[in-house]
Amino acid sequence: MPVLRLPLLPAAAGKQHWGNLPGAALSLAIAEAASAAKRFTLLLTADSQSAERLEQELSFFAPDLPVLHFPDWETLPYDLFSPHQDIISQRIAALYRLPELAHGVLVVPITTALHRLAPTKFLLGSSLVLDVGQKLDVEQMRSRLEASGYRYVDTVYEHGEFTVRGALIDLFPMGSKLPYRIDLFDDEIETLRTFDPENQRSIDKVDSVKLLPAREFPLQKDAVTRFKARFRERFDVDFRRCPIFQDLSSGITPAGIEYYLPLFFDETSTLFDYLPQDTQVFSLPGIEQAAENFWNDVRNRYEERRVDPARPLLPPAELFLPVEDCFARLKSWPRVVASQQDVEVGAGRERFPAQALPNLAIEAKATQPLAALAGFLDEFPGRVLFTAESAGRREVLLELLERLKLRPKTVDSWPDFVASKDRLAITIAPLDEGLLLDDPALALVAESPLFGQRVMQRRRREKRADGNHDAVIKNLTELREGAPVVHIDHGVGRYLGLTILEIDDQAAEFLTLEYAENAKLYVPVANLHLIARYTGSDDALAPLHRLGSETWQKAKRKAAEQVRDVAAELLDIYARRAAREGYAFADPKADYATFSAGFPFEETPDQQTTIEAVRADMLAPKPMDRLVCGDVGFGKTEVAMRAAFIAVHGGRQVAILVPTTLLAQQHYNSFRDRFADWPVSVEVMSRFKSAKEVNAAIADLAEGKIDIVIGTHKLLSDDVKIKNLGLVIIDEEHRFGVRQKEQLKALRSEVDILTLTATPIPRTLNMAVSGMRDLSIIATPPAR
């Protein structure tokens, strides 16, 4: 059900201007125009960030509208790098679908639209469909996959990879959400299944699989021969010193080969050649300037790099569409320039009845934090839809609105809200801005303006909702030929591969393990659980045990004794923890949401999962003991800040232990900045402070006047008394001495403990992996 009154678009070539579409009103207008049109829509933006934001907003306003994603290579012109396989997969899938789509939207930055592409016939002629029951020659299939750009690997994890294991072929087709497992019976496809690349387990059966090429150029023998011939014609250089030429001659796909794409084909195409003939174009202001800036960058990079004889370059015009040619192509289609800015009404110029929302930000320090929102809702006569980023954020927003005695109805989508008659509603949507319409009187209030603007980092790779940190560890147990392994009964051997042996006239598969003195051990595949990956320091130096000797059994007995000693110690600590009733912190809810919104970046998936796990631990009536592992810069400090906020909000004090004075000062500056808007006292105890200042801090700690104290091992001194300690945060525990660790051990039965580390010591990691301590892994790096 359309909300806006849209003007008629030109049936043929022509240009209109739509204005006064602030905030999300711009996406709403384009979504309704594209949905109503009986043709395909191309939406051009000035940059990739705008394109990704509009893709999400269009899908929200028009859930049934096909919205295609055609990402940029995310490399600079003439770069020595190739795009990531996930990017290539999305591009190839979009190009393959485009010619057959009569209805839908393609959102693309103008700079991406300037790249020259493979001819349209290449993708159509290089695709392959596999069906259950089809005859399949494994060697021919392997050759075809390699010629299409697929990489042979031991285990399939990413797009464009495949492997062959006997009668099984695993492959991850470009454009597919999941990889496929082909099970052969002789030379016939018996079953086709999807599988999870994280744990390699099969999921669902399918009837057919569509295979698209893994590259945007051919790698067949004749195509490589043509490339080399054209390379010789174009460049007067010593080919023996050209890595591009030599790698391709050796069967290696060199990095950066994409910038030699025209040498693979007689002629190239552009994105406009892939579009249906009956296409309408929407564009945002600024695309002309963005295109000019891009071309200036291309020319500059070409001039800077063209002098390298080992890497001769094609001129820009062969790789990119000139700006004037691009906009000449656009003139052949009906085009609308849609803008958030106001326009004067006239011929071909339409002004929409929309306006920007007033400032509705929650003022955490004010007596009535929700005064602006309450005033708006009292005065606005129309219907209002609130949006939140996730289900959890939606619940927080509902609790905030409950303070105003408001109970909006939960709806699933924008169309559901439009079709309903409820004055207030709430839904989950990836919107950064809202909208306000006069006719009809509708308002959309996004979460971000309420809690303050955030720097939303856009990721090029799709988030896996089912990501499991256990799989990170499981994937390390992958067997590869030549790798050392440990058999539970026979010790360390070396895996040589699979062998088929006949036992009682029955053929069966066995793992072949080599031990000292070239002794062989054959382990049935069914007994794979008896084998583990060797975790020593160097695979090449792994000490192979001798079959039948007592060395391995003695090592096992010694390890068992050490385990018993550790177990006794841990039993004492955790028995005391279990016997004690831990302090269950009250859920800060609205205040916590406001504090979280002050984080100026988007949480990574792993970081968000860790934050929620720590929060759940602190709200439970059991002392927390959680280890957070993550590389430097992956967001462990923000996890600690959220935990500290919960503790301080609950009336308890927080002690942060760090190994060095410099790190203490760094954390002090970070915490002071993060808690600046809150009535929280933060102090540091280090050698940068005078003795008088340290003594004053010790006295304030004992009286409960300091909420968060940061310091080195000085905090563990007998003269430091913390009146109401509720949380201890330990940064890099492995850098503390033995005496300090003994004191930390004693704390574990008393208060909540949060340990942050980039390099956990083996014992700490073992305790976490074995379940003695809770473990969170932040493996997702922040977007760049």
Nearest residue to 159 (alpha-carbon basis) of 197, 189, 132, 124: 197
In a domain, residue 430? The reply is yes
372 and 338 within one domain? no
The Cα-based distances of 172 to 17, 96, 136 in angstroms read 44, 17, 17
Tokens representing residue 313 in the block: 């370059």
H-helix or E-strand spanning residue 42: strand 40-45
Distance CA 121, CA 276 (A): 15
Peptide bond into 440 cis (omega under 30): yes
CATH assignment of the domain containing 542? 2.40.10.170
Last residue of a domain, one of 412, 433, 451: 451
3-class SS of residue 449: helix
Does 412 score more than 70 pLDDT? Answer: yes
399 and 507 within one domain? no
Residue 161: per-residue pLDDT: 92
538 and 404 within one domain? no
Neighbour order of strands in the sheet with 752-757: 682-685, 708-711, 653-657, 725-731, 752-757, 625-630, 774-778
692 and 586 within one domain? yes
Mean pLDDT of 453-475: 41
Residue 453: per-residue pLDDT: 53
772 and 673 within one domain? yes
Q: In 10 A of CB 654, how many CB atoms?
A: 29
pLDDT band at 736 (very low <50, low <70, confident <90, very high): low
In a domain, residue 542? The reply is yes
759 and 741 within one domain? yes
Tokens representing residue 654 in the block: 């927080």
pLDDT tens, residue by residue, 199-241: 888 899 999 998 888 888 888 888 899 999 999 999 988 888 8
3-class SS of residue 754: strand
CATH assignment of the domain containing 83? 3.40.50.11180
- Inter-residue long-range contacts of 494-497, CB under 8 Å, 24+ positions, other chains counted: 494/542, 494/544, 496/520
Q: What is the DSSP string of 663-718?
A: HHHHHHHHHHHHTTTTT--EEEESTTS-HHHHHHHHHHHHHT--SEEEESGGGGST
CATH assignment of the domain containing 631? 3.40.50.300
Last residue of a domain, one of 193, 211, 229: 211
Nearest residue to 393 (alpha-carbon basis) of 570, 231, 612: 612
pLDDT tens, residue by residue, 662-720: 888 889 988 988 888 888 999 998 877 888 888 899 999 899 999 999 988 778 887 88
Residue 743: per-residue pLDDT: 62
Residue 38 domain boundaries? 14-120+272-307+322-349
Residue 478: per-residue pLDDT: 58
Burial of 412 (0-12, 13-18, 19+ CB in 10 A): exposed
Mean pLDDT of 581-608: 84
Tokens representing residue 291 in the block: 């295109």
CATH assignment of the domain containing 203? 3.30.2060.10
β-strand pairing of 531-533 with 774-778:
unpaired
In a domain, residue 261? The reply is no
Find out whether 156 and 162 touch, Cβ atoms under 8 Å: yes
Distance CA 337, CA 316 (A): 28
Percent of the chain residues topping a pLDDT of 70: 89
pLDDT tens, residue by residue, 41-88: 999 999 988 999 999 999 999 999 999 989 888 888 998 888 888 889
Does 455 score more than 60 pLDDT? Answer: no
When divided into structural domains, the chain yields a total of 5
612 and 756 within one domain? yes
pLDDT tens, residue by residue, 84-131: 888 898 899 899 888 888 889 999 999 999 999 999 888 877 888 899
pLDDT band at 457 (very low <50, low <70, confident <90, very high): very low
Does 523 score more than 80 pLDDT? Answer: yes
Nearest residue to 271 (alpha-carbon basis) of 115, 57, 132: 115
Percent of the chain residues topping a pLDDT of 90: 33
